[in-house]
A = this chain, B = another copy of it.
Amino acid sequence: MTLQAIEAAAARMRGHVRVTPLLNAPLLDRLAGRRIFVKAECLQVTGSFKARGGWAAVSALPAGARGVLAMSSGNHAQGVAWAAAAHGVPAVIVMPSDAPAVKVANTRAYGAEVVLYDRVRDDRDALAAGIAAERGLALVPPYDHPEVIAGQGSVGLEIAVQAAEAGIAGADVLVCCGGGGLSAGVAMALDARAPGLRVRTVEPAGFDDMARSLVSGQREGNAAATGSVCDAILTPMPGALTLPILHRLAGPGMVVSDDEALRAVALAFRYLRIVAEPGGAVALAAALFRDDLPETVICTVSGGNADPEIFAGALARFGG
């Protein structure tokens, strides 16, 4: 993995993937007691940063691939399905049966074939590998893949430019973390382009495999596979490619509760007028509710494909 790979992926996605805004709100800053800038990847074309990695991977398919196969709880699914459709390439998406209905429906609407599996009982990787081999599809894993990490890293290139425009020389950059693809890509881009900005991963309580792995230096797993409202970022363990990058470049991992994520969803509604899904709001939650942070914090709101009932529930409990 090199900065050049990130730059090449960014060049391939130009005109297709959106440069998302870096938002802020005076009243949110007052509430938090610090300056918070939000990289609004929920405004990305498929509703999450996953459109970037999807485009990067599909646009660099190995010769002879008859299509792509991806495994995803929903956002990577939509990113790959959209990118494949735009390239005229068939896509099969392997999704957990408890993925939010809206994510399954959108993935199908982009034209992909969806194969559902049970998150606890089935071996997702084996299932996916079997279908890929049988049909001659190139596997596009959700995070542990050089082109995917390079694609997500384009978020970091944009943050470097936008932070400089906003006069931000030093800040923590909090990134919503599942397997670490976005975090690793952003960390590499910032290391090269904005060395005053340090990445910190943010995960839901009970699914803090990355935070523990950053301490131990080993790929630690989680006790459970389900049980958080942050469906987008419930991964079994860090990636083999992503952990070494983050172990070298990232600060200590952070953890927030489901209720903090939902409260951040409600505050993003009120003060930023963006739709964040819970898993996409954990970094904002850390920016709002943790003390061990500098005066200026940048955070990703990494996805906005929210279940309407869960979103309305967050507003009823915390919003307004």
Interfacial residues, chain A to chain B (CB-CB below 8 A): 18, 20-21, 23-27, 30, 40, 42-43, 45, 47, 82, 101-102, 106, 109-110, 266, 269-270, 272-275, 304-309, 311-312, 315-316, 319-320
Inter-chain contacts of A316 with B (CB < 8 A): 308, 312
* Chain B, residue nearest A304 (CB): B273
Which single member of B21, B27, B319 contacts A43 (CB below 8 Å)?
B21
* Chain B, residue nearest A20 (CB): B21
Contact B109 A27 (CB under 8 A): yes
Inter-chain contacts of A21 with B (CB < 8 A): 18, 20-21, 43
Inter-chain contacts of A312 with B (CB < 8 A): 311-312, 315-316
Count of identical protomers in the assembly: 2
- Known: A21-B21, A27-B110, A274-B275; 5 extra A-B contacts, CB below 8 A, are A24-B45, A26-B45, A47-B273, A273-B274, A307-B320
The answer for the CA separation of A319 and B168 in the assembled complex, in Å, is 38
Which single member of B102, B273, B311, B320 contacts A101 (CB below 8 Å)?
B320
Inter-chain contacts of A82 with B (CB < 8 A): 26
* Chain B, residue nearest A109 (CB): B27
The answer for the CA separation of A40 and B30 in the assembled complex, in Å, is 24
Inter-chain contacts of A110 with B (CB < 8 A): 26-27
Which single member of B24, B43, B320 contacts A274 (CB below 8 Å)?
B43
The answer for the CA separation of A308 and B102 in the assembled complex, in Å, is 21
The answer for the CA separation of A273 and B23 in the assembled complex, in Å, is 14
The answer for the CA separation of A106 and B27 in the assembled complex, in Å, is 8
Shortest 7 CB-CB contacts between residues of A and residues of B = A273-B304, A308-B320, A312-B312, A273-B275, A308-B319, A308-B315, A42-B273
The answer for the CA separation of A27 and B86 in the assembled complex, in Å, is 13
| Distance between A2 CB and nearest chain B CB, rounded to angstroms | 30
The answer for the CA separation of A311 and B106 in the assembled complex, in Å, is 22
Which single member of B18, B269, B305 contacts A275 (CB below 8 Å)?
B269
| Distance between A265 CB and nearest chain B CB, rounded to angstroms | 11
| Distance between A168 CB and nearest chain B CB, rounded to angstroms | 14
15 contacting pairs across A/B (C-beta < 8 A):
A18-B23, A21-B21, A27-B110, A43-B272, A43-B274, A101-B320, A102-B270, A266-B308, A269-B275, A273-B274, A273-B275, A273-B304, A307-B320, A309-B320, A312-B315
The answer for the CA separation of A222 and B27 in the assembled complex, in Å, is 35
Given A101-B320, A109-B30, does the pair A269, B308 have CB atoms closer than 8 Å? yes
The answer for the CA separation of A315 and B269 in the assembled complex, in Å, is 14
Interface centre among A20, A42, A319, by most B CB within 10 Å?
A319
Inter-chain contacts of A307 with B (CB < 8 A): 320
Inter-chain contacts of A306 with B (CB < 8 A): 269, 273
* Chain B, residue nearest A305 (CB): B273
Inter-chain contacts of A40 with B (CB < 8 A): 43
Inter-chain contacts of A20 with B (CB < 8 A): 21
Inter-chain contacts of A311 with B (CB < 8 A): 269, 312, 315
